[in-house]
Copies of this chain bind each other. A is one copy, B any other.
Amino acid sequence: MAGGVRKVYGSLECPNTLKVLACIFEHSLDFQFIPINLKEGEHKREPFLSLNPFGVVPVLEHDGYKQFECRAIIRAMAHEFSSSLQDNDLIYWDERKQAIVSNWVDVEDHKFEPPALELINELAIKPENGLEPDETVVAKAEAKLGAVLDVYEARLGKFKYLAADKFTIADLLHLPNLQSLLGTARGKKLIESRPKVSLWCSQILARPAWSSVLQMKNKPPQSTHL
């Protein structure tokens, strides 16, 4: 397969890169990982800017196609490698059902991720770097995320997963941030105080594809430079 190697340019510290990797492992696809050093600003200069003019990871390059928005990469991959007959597809081919998956993909994007990232920054990243969390920011983000998780708790009372009774890309997109939230006492409490959210969270984090991502994160592959 000359020219056919699927290349993922990204950082194992970046949740959006991990989302794409989770999708790749869910579909058991071959790929090559090319680490981009964010601390050294490798994403803000050439040759990376030719892959993504906005200077953000991850980028997927395959057969001459370059894609650089993680949710777009995941949607396209799930469509490309799904068959209309398999119950374990991460999407639906029925437009009306897929419309609901799209709806919850955008909920993750617009409602869940912003306060989740704020909390992870305050409660995990800042302390790792010797900084104190800002209690005002934490309290605000906690209230916002709590309200979102209340909607999830009600939703998960009607369906096994967020968009439907099967695991879809809408659930997959939550994995990295749920994992990080669980690593903080206050994030853990937000999740575990909601029984249905807590069960959903354990179920999706237990997926073999996600274990493969964590294994890769803990033992990064031999570096291939850009």
- Residues in A lying within 8 Å of B, measured CB to CB: 53-54, 63, 65, 67-69, 71-73, 75-76, 79-80, 95-96, 98-100, 102-103, 105-107, 109-111, 148, 151, 154-155
Contacts and interface: CB of A to CB of B under 8 A. Distances in A.
Closest 4 CB pairs of A and B: A76-B99, A69-B106, A72-B102, A72-B103
Given A53-B154, A102-B75, A103-B72, A95 B67 contact: no
A152 to B, nearest CB: 10
Contacts of A110: 69
Contacts of A103: 67-69, 72-73
Per assembly, the copies of the chain total 2
Contacts of A69: 102-103, 106-107, 110
Given A76-B95, A96-B65, A99-B76, A106 B54 contact: no
A111 B55 CA distance: 11
A74 B111 CA distance: 19
B80 A95 contact: yes
A10 to B, nearest CB: 15
A155 B50 CA distance: 12
Nearest to A64: B96
B72 A99 contact: yes
